[in-house]
Amino acid sequence: MLHILNKAPANARADDMLAVVGESDEVVLLEQAVQACLSPHWPGFERCRGRLYLLEEDLASRGLLEAAKSGAVPTIDMEGFVALSERHTRSVTWY
C-alpha cells in the first residue's frame, strides 16, 4: 500500500499513519509533510527506512530541497511519485 501524508510531522495524522504502516508499505510526504527534513529524528525515517520519500517539488517550493539533500533524506520527483502510485493497487491519503 502507498501512504501519502500531507500534514507536518508533529501533526496527529502523522502519528496515525505511522501506527498502521506495514512492513512492505511505502510512504510519500508532500505539502506540509516535507517539513520532516528539518526533523532528522522524526520516527518515520526509522520506521519506514528505504520506503519513505519526500516530494522534491514541495521541498523546492518551501526552500527545503537543499536541506533535504544535505541531510541525505530520500526524495522523489513527480514522475517517481506517479510510478509509485501505479505500482500500488491501493493507497491512502492522510489529511
What is the domain partition of the chain in residue ranges? 2-94
How far apart, in whole angstroms, are the C-alpha atoms of residue 21 and residue 56?
22
Which conformational region is residue 84 in: left (phi greater than 0), alpha (psi within -120 to 50 degrees), or beta? Answer: alpha
Which conformational region is residue 50 in: left (phi greater than 0), alpha (psi within -120 to 50 degrees), or beta? Answer: left
The pTM score is 0.94
Residue-wise pLDDT for 39-92, tens only, equals: 989 999 999 999 999 999 999 999 999 999 888 889 999 999 999 999 999 999
Cell reading at 50: 528505504
Burial of 91 (0-12, 13-18, 19+ CB in 10 A): middle
Q: Look at the domain 2-94 and name its fold.
A: Hypothetical Protein Ychn; Chain: A, (3.40.1260)
